[in-house]
Structures are given as C-alpha cells and as structure tokens.
Amino acid sequence: MSKERFHLSIHKIDYEGHRLFTPEILIFSTPTEADQYAAAFVMEQIDRKPNSVLTLPTGPTPQKMYEMLVQIHKKQALDMSHISVFNLDEYWPIRRDHPSSYTRYMQDRFISHINIHPSNWHIPDGEASDPYEEAIRYEKRMKQSPPVDLAVVGIGPGTTCHIGFNEKGSPLDSRVRYVSLDEETLRTNRTFFDKPEEIPHGAITQGVATILDARKIILIAKGKRKAWGVHRAFTGPIGPAAPASFLRLHQQVTVVLDQDAGKLLSV
C-alpha cells in the first residue's frame, strides 16, 4: 500500500477565536487502497472500543468500505453487537423503503449484514410528518447517547464542500435541522435516483457542530470530482462558504484521499 502524507501549514490563524488544527491528509495511489484504509480505521475503532458510537455517511464513496466491513464481520473477525450508529442525514420527504432513501441504502449495504442491535441504529425519518420536529427528535436522541467516538464523512460534489447536508452558508454552530439542498447537490444526487424527478429537495442533517462533537473524524474522498472541494476545504479560508473547511477546527481529523481527489493538494 503506498500513500503520501501531506502537512498543510497554511492559514494557521484563529477562526473567530477558535484554534486551528492540521488534519492528517493521506493520499493513496488507488481508490481501493483508500477504501481499505477507511475500513481498517473503522475496524480498529470498534476493536479498541466495542461499544463505539459511530456517525456514518451514505452515497457511492463509502460503499466499498461497507462491503469490506461486512466481509470482515462475516469472517467473524469483527463483532458489531455493541456499536451504535447515527446516520448523518436522510432526504425529506422520502419513503423509508424508497430505493434511493438513505434508510434503504444503510439497510441493504450494512445494517442487515451485521449484528448491530436494531435499536442502536438511528437515522432521521424521511416519513416524519414534520421535518422540523423530526430534527428536534434526532438531536435529542443524539444528546441522550454517549458522545460519538468516530464520525465518517464524505465531501459534497463540485463546489458544494458540504459535509452531511450542510450546504454552503451552514454556520459553525449548526445542529440537526431541516435544510434545502443546494442546486449542485441536486444535480449530482438526482443521478442516484432511477426516476431523477423523485429526488426530494430537502433533507434532515446533523449540523456542523454536531459533526464536530465527534471525538474523531475521518473524511473520505475519491475521484476527480472531489479535487476542487478537497483543495478548497483544506487550503482555503475557513467559513460557511465551504462547510467542510470547519473540519480544520477539530483536533483529530484524518482525510483519506485517492490520487484524483488529492491532485490539487500535491501541486
């Protein structure tokens, strides 16, 4: 496995009185190596602390990571009976069993293949009648749980720089809430729907502050379409114009990239 390590020492000034930290940025030669590293990272967390609380993402990026974790679990090398999972987000409104809902994604790719206790998996309810109330319920549920040990996140497509569905303009102190999706997000994510017109224009998402509450964060990004956002988030000014840039206010962030996603960092 070959990887490069980048040390970014730019913008080391405070952001509105917050200390800045340097994330560990790892650039792997291939997407598969990035996936393997991410899966091993999650596995180590669970090995070290079997009752870990995890925040998890959906989408094409973590798909291989889930496959790898399921394989390891099936070889009886990883007990997940004590973990808890809080998903980052869910579209609203959407049927839970809609083929493109995040609820269905998680069930089909991860939850139904592992031995997590069903009551320990949480995801916002896309069928809730009131998304604002659902956001309050989800936030409360997270607060009742021990703190998140590890949050796994992706970064939004193009210039969105979103984490969860914290689109441009999301403030540092944002918590679980209902949001409208950015045009660019809609354009990309529409392609994940068999009937593109069925994509909901809103979602319930953990906020920036909710994500930063995790003890540790790992961001995974692969492919050319992530290169601009990764560069913007980790070298540009910190602020709501690029919500992923707020990750630089967290002390323990690992950024796992393939060469395409990291290509603008290395020039």
Count the site residues for ligand F6R by CB under 6 A: 15
CA 139, CA 9: separation in Å to the nearest integer? 34
Among 98, 162, 175, 250, binds ligand F6R (CB under 6 A): 162
- Is residue 64 involved in binding ligand F6R (CB under 6 A)? no
For residues 103-124, one letter each, b for 16 or more C-beta atoms within 10 angstroms of the residue's C-beta and e for the rest, the string is: bbbbbebbbebbebeeebbbbb
Among 50, 60, 147, 171, binds ligand F6R (CB under 6 A): 60
- Is residue 229 involved in binding ligand F6R (CB under 6 A)? no
- Using the minimum distance from each CB to ligand F6R, give the nearer residue, 49 or 59: 59
Query: Can you tell me whether residue 99 is helix, strand or coil?
Result: coil
- Is residue 55 involved in binding ligand F6R (CB under 6 A)? no
User: What minimum distance in Å lies between the beta carbon of 107 and ligand F6R?
Assistant: 14
Among 23, 131, 154, 229, binds ligand F6R (CB under 6 A): 154
Rounded alpha-carbon distances, angstroms, from residue 102 to 28, 40, 98, 200: 27, 23, 9, 12
Among 164, 200, 207, 262, binds ligand F6R (CB under 6 A): 164
CA 214, CA 216: separation in Å to the nearest integer? 5
Among 52, 58, 101, 210, binds ligand F6R (CB under 6 A): 58
CA 39, CA 176: separation in Å to the nearest integer? 26
Token pair, residue 250, equals: 């967290």
- Using the minimum distance from each CB to ligand F6R, give the nearer residue, 102 or 110: 102
